[in-house]
Amino acid sequence: MAKAVVKDLVESRGVSEILLADINEREAKRFAAELRKKRGVEVRISTAQVDVYDHDRLVEIVKGSDVAIDTTHQDCGVAVARGIIDAKVNGCALGSGHNIAREILRFDKLAKDAGVTYLVSAGVFPGATGITARYLADKMDQAEDVHLSMVIFRPIALTPSLADLFITFLPGEGLVYKDGVLKKTPPFAGREEVEYPEPFGKQVIYNITSCDPLTIPMAIKGVKNVCVKATYYPDYTEMLKIFYDVGLLSAKLVKVNGKQVVPAEVLKELLIRRPVEKGREIVKFVQRVKVTGVRNRAKTECVVLMPFLPFEGEREDPETRATGEPGSIIVQMLAHGGVKTKGVMGAESCIDPKAFMKEWAKRPGVEIYETCMESRRI
């Protein structure tokens, strides 16, 4: 995902310098060299070694930048956010679950005192989903319900990080905003059937760990309900439910034949070794944003559907591309002074939704379908 952000930045106008800071500087240098070889690249690309838990070093590396984006695993999110804010630099995280986002939001006064903006999520889901919800809500006199969902068709574990995401994204503790109150939900709660365009069709979706229910009510005043749901291939989702039921997703030590093992770590290792199933090599996903409310005294429902499918000449899989590009766009808006609000918040609270959607639509392979319906008594 990080590489997709950088590749989009390198190809964007108005970007003069990029610093790749990573604990593995050797890999950062290799990637920087790869980017420099691209025809037409004029951006200066440098690298630095940093452990994000070395606060002073992180602040030193970030200080002086126009903007910084955290593309690490979300478990590092609180440490990175504090470092960026202490460096007095505008920044954002590519993605945050609701528990991590809640901790980062506590830095709001710190960010305001530093005169900076920090966004808890700037990827596709959450991040772009919240901005899209705001885009639709702005068309109404009052938005009441926000329903976000995603269907992801991809191999289980192309990389260790994707294996980790596979076993935490759906089976994690969900969060909903219901009747104006935040409520946590157990794994696989909120079961619902939704019809999506082909090749996805009708799918059963469940609540996930997204921070959107936490941040969207901050941006869309008066909204009553916010939920975020997702699923994988149906058989993969059913497999995960079995893994959860028997304890294979547990991060707690279990004694097996006299040895202490972590079930989730064993499962991840086995998933990484599992060959990709024939016919499922290519990543495809679709996201749906539905907002209902009132416009001109009429009940109104607006929906944005965005299918992300492979296209000829694509360099990244659709999921990676779709996650990285919003991050790049938001970074550039922060760097170029397009955001005036200071503090910690979701992207939907300060990013101009029309400008964002217009810019995102310019990217190859991005298709945005919007429908709005009004119902009134004749």
Mean pLDDT over residues 82-91, rounded? 97
Whose tokens are 């550039």? That residue is 332
- The C-alpha atoms of residue 363 and residue 373 are separated, in whole angstroms, by 28
Tell me the pLDDT of the chain averaged across its residues.
92
CB 52 within 8 A of CB 83: yes
In a domain, 273, yes or no: no
Say how many Å lie between the first and final Cα of the chain, rounded. 50
Whose tokens are 């705001």? That residue is 134
pTM of the predicted model as reported, rounded to 2 decimal places: 0.92
The pLDDT, as a whole number, for residue 315 is: 58
- The C-alpha atoms of residue 55 and residue 229 are separated, in whole angstroms, by 35
In a domain, 241, yes or no: no
Residue type at 1? M
CB 63 within 8 A of CB 87: yes
The pLDDT, as a whole number, for residue 266 is: 92
Q: Which two tokens stand for residue 376?
A: 């009134």
Residue 313 has pLDDT above 70, yes or no: no
In a domain, 74, yes or no: yes
Q: State which residues form the domain around 331.
A: 2-124+321-360
Q: Which two tokens stand for residue 334?
A: 């922060």
Phi, psi angles (nearest 5°) of residue 136: -75, -40
Selected residue with higher pLDDT from 289 and 280 = 289
The pLDDT, as a whole number, for residue 112 is: 97
Q: Could you tell me which of 40, 17, 91 has the C-alpha nearest to residue 350?
A: 91
In a domain, 243, yes or no: no
Q: Is the dihedral of CA 15, 124, 119, 5 positive or negative?
A: negative
In a domain, 28, yes or no: yes
Residue 132 has pLDDT above 80, yes or no: yes
The CATH number of the domain where 332 resides is what?
3.40.50.720
In a domain, 344, yes or no: yes
How does DSSP classify residue 350?
A: T
The pLDDT, as a whole number, for residue 283 is: 86
Residue-wise pLDDT tens digits, 35-52: 888 877 788 999 999 999
The pLDDT, as a whole number, for residue 247 is: 94
Beta carbons within 8 Å of 15's beta carbon, 6+ residues apart: 9, 43, 332
In a domain, 72, yes or no: yes
Across 1-10, 105-114, 164-173, 322-331, the highest mean pLDDT is recorded for: 105-114
- The C-alpha atoms of residue 211 and residue 99 are separated, in whole angstroms, by 8
Mean pLDDT over residues 111-115, rounded? 97
Domain tally, the chain:
1
In a domain, 212, yes or no: no
